[in-house]
Every structure is written in C-alpha cells, then in structure tokens.
C-alpha cells in the first residue's frame, strides 16, 4: 500500500505511511492555504523582487542597506554544519516496527508488549570512514541506526551491519578512527582502509582481528542497504515487570536476504554512480517496494554467560546463533523517504544512552564509552544542547522537565518553577512535573549480589543521612558576633520570601541545627516557632572548632589594609605627616582625604589630598583618622559626605582615631566612646587592625 496524503481545512497536510501512522506537515504562517504562497524573508516580510539586489542606480554599487540580500547570503553562508566524525555519509528513511511476538515475560519495553503494535521509527544507514561527500560503495562497515519513537520515550538502537567491533574499550576509539581516516600529513586515501596507518594500528591491536575478518569479507561490500543485516553489537539487558534480568543481543535480518557485490564491481559502481546505495533506497521506497527486516533477539542468562570461553561483554565477540538462536519478535519496515534530507537525515542525532523502561545497559566498556561520546558530539554538530527539539529527534510522547534556555530554545515554559523539588503547589502555583518511582525508568539492580559495589543504584548510603550535625558544629564554633551575623543574614533573606510555608519550613530546620538559632530567626520574622523538622538521622554534638571561625583566628595586623586620614583647612600638617608615616610603618596604606583635593591650606603650608571627601567614603577604608580643627569640624557637621564618612565607619565597627578638634563631628553623628574610638597615637594603630563587635548592638538592632 503506497503512502497517501491529504490536506485539512486549516492547511495542514496529513501523510499516512504504510505502517498506518500519520505525520503532520504544518505550512509556514506566511503561506496561503488556497495554493498561492508569497516569498518572504525569514521574518515574514513579503518580497516584491527576488532577482535583483538594491543598487545606487542601474549600474551603481550594491547598497549595504539591502537587508534582503544580506539575510539571504548570511543564511546561505551558514547552511553547512560540521559533518559527523564517523558515519558522515548516510541515508535515512521513516518507517515502523511491528511486534509479531510479544515478550512481556522478558521485558516491559513498550514496543514488545503486544502483537500487532506498531512503533514509528527513523532509520539511518551509513559508511563509517568516508566524509559526507565520499562514495556509497567503499569496503567499509555500514552503520545501521534505529530511533524508535515509543510512548515511553525515544529508544535509539545504534548498530552496524557487522555484529562485532574493532576494539574492546572506548578509550581506543579515537586511535582507531584516526588510523583509518585519511593520513594526517597528506589527507588521503578517502574512505579506504588500504593504507599504512590503518594496518599499522591493526597489527598492534590483535583484539581487532575478528572484526578485520568481517571487514575483509563480502559483508563490507553490500549490494544494497536493503540487503544488509543489522546488529546491536553490544550485550544489553532486558528487564521485565518483576525486575528480572536477561542479557540480550539485537539482530535484524533483511527479508530480501544478505547480498553483496564483488570488489571489482564495487569499484566500478563507485565510478558509474557514487550515490548507488542512496539512489537504490530512494527508488525502492518511492516505488512502494518497502525495505523490510525481521527483528530478533538472542536472550541468555548469567549462567550461560559465565559458561562461555569468551566474555559476553566483549564487543569483539559474538554469540553463535547455533548456541543461542535468534528469536524473531517483529519486523521493521521503511515506508517514507524524508521530506528534507538535511532537516531529517543530516540532523538526526542517535544516542545509545536513549533507552526506555525494560531495556538497560551492560558493563561492556565500549558501550559505556559510547554513552558519553554520542551525547557530547551533538553540541558540536548541531550547535545547541536543544538538539532534541529538532522534529526528527523530538520524542512523540509527552516530554516535561526543568531543563531551560540554551541556544535555539523553541519551547516557551511558563511559570517560575524551573527546579525540583519545589513546593510552589502549596501556594497555588504551577509546580511542574515530578519523578515517578512506579513507572519511571530504573536501572537494573542485581538483587542476587550481596555487595552493592556490584550494583547500579540510585541511592544514598545511610552514612550520608546526617544533614544537621556539621551545620550545628559550624554555628556553635562561631563567636557571638559571628552568630549574630548568621541570624541577621537568614532573617533578612527569609523576610524577602513571600511563601509563608517556605519560611516556616526553613525555621523548622534551623531549630534542629540549634534551638536558639531557630528561635531567634522566628522572632526576627515575627512568627511562632514551628515544630522542628524530623531528621533522617539524629544529629550529634561535635566538639567546636576554632578553625571554623574567622574572628577566633583573626590576625590583628595593619599590613595590607588602608587607613583614611580626614583633614581640612587649618589641620596640623606635621601631625598628619607623623600619622601617615606611622601607618605606613605598619605595612598599611595611608590615604589623605579632604573636602578638596588640591591646595588645602593647613598649619604649616598646603597639602594635596589623595581623595576628595565626597568621592572617598569610609566604606573603602579599614579605619579612619580625623585630624581637624574645631572650626573645621563644626563646618563639616553640615556636610553630608563628612557625617556619612564618620557615621558609616562607626556603624561598620571600624576604628576611629581623632584629635580633640574633631569632637564636634563625632558628637554630631552620635559616636560613643569605646575601645575602637581612640586618640591618634599607638592606641590607634593597634585599634585600626581590627573591628569592634561589642559596638554592634549599639548601632544595629540584632534579631
């Protein structure tokens, strides 16, 4: 039955494939639905002329303002994307998998759940070594990748037409491909293994010899892509609904049988038609002669695996079908050529890490490396982590998560929930999706093993369950001043939280860390302390540690600090210079500050300041000294920059040295005498090396 298409009233074309599945083709918004369409820019502006650039007169230069020309050339210049490092030369088609034998006793995988069930898929077949522009018929392995669009998510079975591989460990894959690709110093031969570097590598890697036998056989010279076997290569796991595991290898066998060409024939075909395989596949599908494969599995248990003279996790080995027959459970049919080669065949991204419930990985080291590599390469090829939004890669089942943004983002999530867990539902907001332990994917857990080091578990060890003891240790190791700051910081942060249940939940945790901490924060917020949280593991009291406190280990030194000296008209120049010398003698920087920068008249001459008062607030300094006459101090009482300079230094618990003349300014801002408010002698140098936290309750309301 040929595929057919029809157009709905709203202009959406519906194509029905041989498998019965439907595909929607939505017209551009600028298209007319009566058959007439207008040529537009990428942004929907209709074009009146697509034949001529905008010029300054009929024979004048082309104008830079021709945005239509620039957009068209810009897009053309960037049409190509990096080709695949391997499998660059490929052809693809849409189709379906139909289950002919249900196997729920072996796996809960959706495609195998009931006889007659059809699962849409996309298939891509390719050469390995050649570039995207190379010929179809070299002696080479053929990639044979299948993307199943299941109701449980996409399952990618990334296989070849040969059941084994060159290497056992993924760490050797870059070396293998470098060796078989064109030689680095000369850039040839293309799509060929008959050269020094490939055979040098093979001669040093005897694990490759089995694969070499296959590649040197007629298997590497297929007559048609429709006439190739397909193999999943690796050993995977089947998991049934009861959590029972079987090992499985996947096979798909062409209904037309495996057919090959002779070497001389393949060479001559490449000259006559380098697109021989691609053309053959296209012609068969468009003629309704749909390619078909029987899909089968080799299933075996741990006992069988352990009894073999080879390791079933070794990708250079196969399991003879005489030992474990291939059980045919379905068929693969390719019934629709892509609408656009680039959008689908070129942009399709296969990931061995795409599996569904009922299928799991084995410990095959080559497979384990592929799980990383395939995902990693998509960013380089497709330019964005959002490659899964490209239609050919998008799942055909609901997809919900909290992954956001990124280049070329096309989804438009709503609401502010972009993390999990969250409790926004308690405030009547959309909370987003949640994990589902009952139906979600779980990795196989070998319940027969007593040692969990041999198991793959999404679990926390019980020894990780104590979340409070060290938080308590940290809080109780702080000085009183530091504890005050912690309380104030949490209270401030939570005061900005609008969700009342969140504030209460945080306080419930604080009460477990330290009852006083939780009570003080609750009081600062004006709420009754809630019931303490219930720890997964009861916290223990650990000896306090001075190393966790800043102030208990504080080095009281002026070295590396900056001290500001405020002066004005009439200040004593000699006193300023003496103080500056003393500060610098301690390894600190002395910064002269005045209402004006230059020409300040002082007793004994003029003095230039390093900074102007209005532009050099005390927050930039570690301590301040005031060298002022009484008249100057009274005048500065009306200067907001001066009062802020002193007030902030006092409020930030810094040392303030002063002479007698500065007292009016101190009185103006309410500076009270304490150990940090000193004269300008040695007592100031000692005070300037620290802060005075005993002052804090006087200047700040503490929760």
Active site members: 87, 160
Distance CA 196, CA 179 (A): 9
Distance CA 626, CA 685 (A): 13
List Cα–Cα distances, 505 to 206, 509, 520, in angstroms: 62, 7, 15
Q: What share of the chain is helix, strand, coil (3-state, %, to 5)?
A: 35, 20, 50
Only one residue has tokens 């056992």, namely 168
| DSSP reduced 3-state for 518 | helix
Phi-psi map region of 520: left, alpha, beta (phi>0 left; psi -120 to 50 alpha): alpha
Exposure on the CB side of residue 464, measured as CA atoms within 13 A? 3
Q: In angstroms, how far is CA 220 from the centroid of its own chain?
A: 38
Only one residue has tokens 């995977």, namely 236
Strand order in the sheet with 13-16: 4-7, 13-16, 22-25
Distance CA 259, CA 634 (A): 104
Distance CA 492, CA 498 (A): 12
| DSSP reduced 3-state for 316 | coil
Q: Please name every residue paired with 153 in a beta bridge, in sequence order, or none if there are none.
A: 150
CB count in 10 Å sphere of residue 453: 7
Instruction: Evaluate the CA torsion angle 552, 557, 558, 562 in order and state its sign.
Output: negative
| Helix (H) / strand (E) containing 248 | strand 245-254
Distance CA 588, CA 684 (A): 13
Cβ-proximal residues to 145 (8 Å cutoff; 6+ apart), any chain: 87, 123, 124, 125, 126, 156, 157, 158, 159, 350
CA angle 487, 491, 494 (to 5 degrees): 140
């Amino acid at each position: 039955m040929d595929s057919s298409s029809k157009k709905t009233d709203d202009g959406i074309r519906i194509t029905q494939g041989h498998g019965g599945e439907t595909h929607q083709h939505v017209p551009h918004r600028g298209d007319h639905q009566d058959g007439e369409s207008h040529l537009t820019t990428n942004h929907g502006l209709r074009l009146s002329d697509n034949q001529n650039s905008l010029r300054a007169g009929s024979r004048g230069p082309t104008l830079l303002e021709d945005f239509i020309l620039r957009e068209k050339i810009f897009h053309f210049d960037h049409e190509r994307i990096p080709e695949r490092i391997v499998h660059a030369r490929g052809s693809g088609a849409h189709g379906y998998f139909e289950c002919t034998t249900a196997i729920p006793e072996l796996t809960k995988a959706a495609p195998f759940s009931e006889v007659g069930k059809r699962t849409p898929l996309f298939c891509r077949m390719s050469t390995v070594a050649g570039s995207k522009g190379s010929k179809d018929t070299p002696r080479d392995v053929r990639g044979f990748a299948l993307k199943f669009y299941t109701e449980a998510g996409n399952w990618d079975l990334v296989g070849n037409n040969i059941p084994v591989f060159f290497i056992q460990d993924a760490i050797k894959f870059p070396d293998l491909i470098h060796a078989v690709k064109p030689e680095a110093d000369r850039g040839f031969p293309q799509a060929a293994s008959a050269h020094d570097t490939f055979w040098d590598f093979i001669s040093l890697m005897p694990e490759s010899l089995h694969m070499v036998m296959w590649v040197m056989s007629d298997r590497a010279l297929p007559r048609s892509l429709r006439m190739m076997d397909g193999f999943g290569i690796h050993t995977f796991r089947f998991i049934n609904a009861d959590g029972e595991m079987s090992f499985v290898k996947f096979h798909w066998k062409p209904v037309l049988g495996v057919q090959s060409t002779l070497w001389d024939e393949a060479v001559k075909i490449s000259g006559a038609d380098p697109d021989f395989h691609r053309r053959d596949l296209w012609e068969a599908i468009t003629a309704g002669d749909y390619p078909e494969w029987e899909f089968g599995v080799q299933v075996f248990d741990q006992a069988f695996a352990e009894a073999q003279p080879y390791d079933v996790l070794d990708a250079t080995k196969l399991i003879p079908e005489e030992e474990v027959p291939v059980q045919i459970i379905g068929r693969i049919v390719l019934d629709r050529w892509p609408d656009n080669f680039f959008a689908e065949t070129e942009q399709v991204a296969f990931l061995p890490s795409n599996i569904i419930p009922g299928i799991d990985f084995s410990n095959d080291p080559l497979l384990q490396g592929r799980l990383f590599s395939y995902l990693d390469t998509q960013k380089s090829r497709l330019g964005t982590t959002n490659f899964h939004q490209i239609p050919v890669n998008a799942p055909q089942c609901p997809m919900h998560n909290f992954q956001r943004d990124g280049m070329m983002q096309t989804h438009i999530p709503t609401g502010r929930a972009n993390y999990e867990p969250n409790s926004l539902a308690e405030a009547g907001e959309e909370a987003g999706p949640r994990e589902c332990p009952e139906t979600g994917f779980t990795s196989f857990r070998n319940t027969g093993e007593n040692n969990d080091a041999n198991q793959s578990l999404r679990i926390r060890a019980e020894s990780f369950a104590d979340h409070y003891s060290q938080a308590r240790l940290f809080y109780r190791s702080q000085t009183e001043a530091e504890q005050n700051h912690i309380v104030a910081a949490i209270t401030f942060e939570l005061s900005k939280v609008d969700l009342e249940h969140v504030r209460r939940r945080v306080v419930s945790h604080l009460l477990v860390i330290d009852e006083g901490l939780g009570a003080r924060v609750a009081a600062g917020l004006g709420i009754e302390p809630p019931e303490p949280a219930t720890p997964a593991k009861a916290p223990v009291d650990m000896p306090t540690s001075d190393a966790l406190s800043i102030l208990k280990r504080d080095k009281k030194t002026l070295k590396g600090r900056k001290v500001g000296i405020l002066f004005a008209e009439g200040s004593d120049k000699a006193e300023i210079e003496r103080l500056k010398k003393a500060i610098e003698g301690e390894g600190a920087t002395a910064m002269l500050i005045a209402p004006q920068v230059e020409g300040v008249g002082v007793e004994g001459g003029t003095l230039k300041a390093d900074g102007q008062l209005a532009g050099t607030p005390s927050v930039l300094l570690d301590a301040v000294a005031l060298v002022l006459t009484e008249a100057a101090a009274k005048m500065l009482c009306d200067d907001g920059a001066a009062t802020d300079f002193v007030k902030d230094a006092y409020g930030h618990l810094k040392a303030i040295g002063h002479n007698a003349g500065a007292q009016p300014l101190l009185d103006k801002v309410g500076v009270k005498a304490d150990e940090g408010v000193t004269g300008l002698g040695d007592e100031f140098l000692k005070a300037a090396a620290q802060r005075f936290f005993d002052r804090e309750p006087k200047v700040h309301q503490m929760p």
